[in-house]
Amino acid sequence: MFDLSRAEERCDALIALARRFGADAADAVAIGDMSEGVQVRLGALEDVERSESEAAGLRVFVGRRSASIHASDLSDAALTELAERAVAMARAAPEDPYAGLAPEELLAKGPFPALDLEDASEPSPQQLRAMAEEAEDAARAVAGVTNSEGGSAGFGRSVMALATSHGFSAGYGATSHSVSASVVAGQGGGMQRDYAWRQARHAGDLLSPADIGRMAGERAVARLNPGRLPSKAMPVILSPRVSNGIIGHLVGAMSGAAIARRSSFLLDRLDDTLFDTSIRILDVPHRPRGLRSRPFDGEGLPTAERALVEGGKVTGWLADSASARQLDIAPTGHASRGAGGGPGISVSNVHIAAGAQSPEELMADIADGVYITELFGHGVNGVTGDYSRGASGFRIVNGALAGAVAEFTIAGNLIDMFAAMIPANDLEMHRAMNAPTLRIDGMTIAGD
């Protein structure tokens, strides 16, 4: 895998080549990554894999015409051909009044914040195998676990560099450690499966493999002998395993591109009070060791902490330069970039701030409800906000968990769900998107 200096040099070379072939402006990105993983099952080694890749993408502008192209061959000859072809494609493209680089006066300036995204240590394949075995052994040791789908451990390292023809050039690196286990409890037709998985930038921030495995085993056993739910409206509690999905639906609807296309359920609701006024949802791109921390966005603009929801209202749209021009607003530093294609829109580390009540207090007055630990299916309409997903979890009776339940659907509308949402105080920060336990009253359950 090439290093950061090499990635930055390849970006600068692409910009120079694009200008030589006649581009009025250009930006280039170079990405390299390495990953290694080991999987075991029933105590035996099942798979060892390692992959390395590198790619570069070039976006060029000829007037208001643009084209994007990418390649995995980063030799001088390949980059020369890439740049020449990109400029030719741009000359043949239709004009786009919103096309262009980010405003030069808004570009990020160094020095950039120290985000501590790289772990100097790198585990050996033998160490990864030992971690995978420890996780699976702990999961299989839980009483009631009868089979295993395996334990795994992985490590990755990546670099990303970005350069533009109007003066931006920078990059950063990151590492990733992960451990998981997946096991089966019960026998025959009554078997239930569950898993546990953690990822961190630094190995020292992971739970121990034994804790991860034990969590997987306990979750699988807890799901045994599930009951069914009646079809009716009832309070729903979303566990932290699934509650962060609410953030993803909100962020997608806040995308400037979706607003410009008029394909968001938040359209024309910028001034509406959608949440309880106590709820805060924050985007924190400079969190040390954060899984989505970044010093600048995919167009070279600075990133900064921002409240996405404050005082019950969405604070504005998330825009790259193109959607900002369409909406006549300033770009917000939320452009994302891969090697292929132009910028998209994404957030960094996002969380819903913790509430005041414990999860137990949050469900104490629920006579009949459901605690959700798994959601599946993609029944969310980004245009209308209609929400319908398959679920499983535990029934709540008189304020306490009262046995596993499965094979039902929860449904509602995201606008109504936002208004009813109450967060608990159990926020943990180990995902890219984090949310505490959430209570949402009045959702429709489709069961028996």
Per-residue pLDDT of the chain (448 residues; tens, 9 = 90+): 579 999 999 999 999 999 999 999 999 999 999 999 999 999 999 999 999 999 999 999 999 999 999 999 999 999 999 999 999 999 999 999 999 999 999 999 989 999 999 999 999 999 999 999 999 999 999 999 999 999 999 999 999 999 999 999 999 999 999 999 999 999 998 999 999 999 999 999 999 999 999 999 999 999 999 999 999 999 999 999 999 999 999 999 999 999 999 999 999 999 999 999 999 999 999 999 999 999 999 999 999 999 999 999 999 999 999 999 999 999 999 999 999 888 999 999 999 999 999 999 999 999 999 999 999 998 899 999 999 999 999 999 999 999 999 999 999 999 999 999 999 999 999 999 999 999 999 999 999 8
Pairing of strands 350-352, 433-434: parallel
The backbone region for 428, taken as left when phi is positive above 0, alpha when psi lies in -120 to 50, beta otherwise, is: beta
pTM: 0.96
Q: How many CB atoms lie within 10 A of CB 108?
A: 19
Give the C-alpha distances (Å, rounded to integers) separating 59 from 164, 171, 319.
9, 17, 18
Pairwise CA distance, residues 321 & 332, whole Å? 8
Query: What local confidence, expressed as pLDDT, does residue 234 receive?
Result: 97
Q: Where are the domains of the chain?
A: 4-36+47-106, 232-245+354-446, 267-346
Look up the CATH number of domain 4-36+47-106.
Answer: 3.30.2290.10
Query: What local confidence, expressed as pLDDT, does residue 1 receive?
Result: 59
Structure tokens at 431: 């995902």
Sequence-separated (6 or more) residues with CB below 8 Å from residue 32: 1, 2, 3, 6, 7, 52, 53, 54, 55, 158, 159
Query: Are 199 and 222 within 8 A, CB to CB?
Result: no
